[in-house]
Amino acid sequence: MTSPQSAVLPDNSRHASFVTLTLKAGQDAANKLRAVAARVPALSDEIAALDTAAELLSAIAFSAEVWATLGLATRPAHLRGFPAMSGHGHDAPATAADALLYVRSARPDLNFMLTQAVLAELDGAVTVVEHIDGFRYLDSRDITGFVDGTENPEGDERAEVALVGDEDPDFAGGSYLHLMRFVHDMNKWNRQSVHHQEQVIGRTKTDDQELDDDIRPETAHISRVVIEEDGEELEVLRQSMPYGDTTRAGLMFAAFGRRPDNFERMLERMYRGELNGTYDHLLDFTRAETGNAFFVPARGFLERL
């Protein structure tokens, strides 16, 4: 299979940067974005060589809206906008972003060097919408204190879940990415008992064990996002990272998939649930402030832009 960009498949890094961009008007800006994007793998390799043990990884991705402006003859078969939705008093908004620069490694200084190098080459062509630096929290836990990503696919299954295959040969090795920034209400969360928190998540807090079906509520986060259809579990590859400072804290949720459908189904079950009110009660403690959908081309496709 065609090789993906380096940040898509490996396990989570210690530090990550998510930089969302909008493209300025005019064909010159589009041409510059296309030319610089083609150089991102080489720029990443150059900086990664400064400390190979830090494992600097990168990816650049494009939205459905900007794809046509890049002057490409074809487009990924399932590339579409973020599926904004509301339900039970909670919103999953679609927010503006034409491209994403995603950088991660064991060293935040190398992440900084690469983001600065790419943005310097893009000067005059893009506007930075948001730059969020995420970090590994404790033993891969969310800020809520629960382990995140327990159900992620492992080994060869990661590529099977995350990468486009021969069904769309021009874009094989690419991936559909959904990115959401959640802000947690930590004051409200920390007022809950551990028992109630475990009922909201659907797992034990200390040792990360999934609650048995007979005691796990249908409104638990696990109950909403673990979906089986025709005997198969619908999966995505999560590369989420906590972020935070003294004013806010939350999760940069990043889901890679072979198609966008699995993520969209999970989101619908979280927000809209069923008529009996079984939405995801984790949403009572966190709020989505951004929502974006991108396609992450394979490395070879990117270098040929």
What's the average model confidence in pLDDT over 216-241? Answer: 94
Q: How confident is the model at residue 231 (pLDDT cuts 50, 70, 90)?
A: confident
Q: Is the pLDDT of residue 251 over 90?
A: yes
Identify the pLDDT of residue 230: 82
Is the pLDDT confidence value at 8 over 70?
Answer: yes
State the Cα–Cα distance between residues 239 and 263, nearest whole angstrom: 13
* CA dist., res. 305 & res. 302, Å (int): 5
Contact 174, 253 (CB under 8 A): no
Average pLDDT of the residues in 87-93: 96
- Mean pLDDT is lowest, of 96-100, 229-233, 274-278, for 274-278
Marked catalytic residue, from 98, 133, 148, 280: 148
Q: If you count them, how many residues does the chain have?
A: 305
Q: pLDDT tens, 130-158?
A: 999 999 999 999 999 999 999 899 999 99
**CA dist 303 to 98, 155, 298, Å?**
19, 26, 9
Question: How confident is residue 71, by pLDDT bands cut at 50, 70 and 90?
Answer: confident
Summarize pLDDT for 109-118 with one digit per residue, the tens.
Answer: 999 999 999 9
Share of the chain above pLDDT 70, in %: 99
Phi/psi at 104 (nearest 5 deg)?
A: -150, 150
Q: Please answer whether residues 66 and 81 qualify as being in contact, where contact means their C-beta atoms are separated by less than 8 angstroms.
A: no
State what percent of residues in the chain have pLDDT above 90: 94
pLDDT, tens digit, for every residue of 9-36? 999 999 999 999 999 999 999 999 999 9
The average pLDDT across 274-303 equals: 94
- Note the pTM of the prediction, 2 decimals: 0.97
> Which three-class secondary structure string do you get for the chain?
CCCCCCCCCCCCCCEEEEEEEEECCCHHHHHHHHHHHHHHHHHHHHHHCCCHHHCCEEEEEECHHHHHHHCCCCCCCCCCCCCCEEECCEEECCCCCCEEEEEEECCHHHHHHHHHHHHHHCCCCEEEEEEEEEECCCCCECCCCCECCCCCCCCCHHHHHHCCCCCCHHHCCCEEEEEEEEEECHHHHHCCCHHHHHHHHCECCCCCCECCCCCCCCCCHHHHHCCEECCEECCCEECCEEEECCCCEEEEEEEEECCCHHHHHHHHHHHCCCCCCCCCHHHHCEEEEEEEEEEECCHHHHHCC
Residue 275 has what pLDDT?
63
Count Cβ atoms within 10 A of the Cβ of residue 54 and give its class: 0-12 exposed, 13-18 middle, 19 or more buried: buried
**d(C-alpha 187, C-alpha 29), whole Å:** 44
Token readout for 192 is 């809950």
Active-site residue, 139 included: no
Q: Contact 147/140 with Cβ under 8 angstroms?
A: yes
- pLDDT-based confidence at residue 72 (cuts at 50, 70, 90): confident
Q: How confident is the model at residue 2 (pLDDT cuts 50, 70, 90)?
A: confident
The mean pLDDT of the chain is 97
Residue 162: pLDDT above 60? yes
pLDDT at 22: 98
Q: Are 22 and 126 in contact (CB under 8 A)?
A: yes
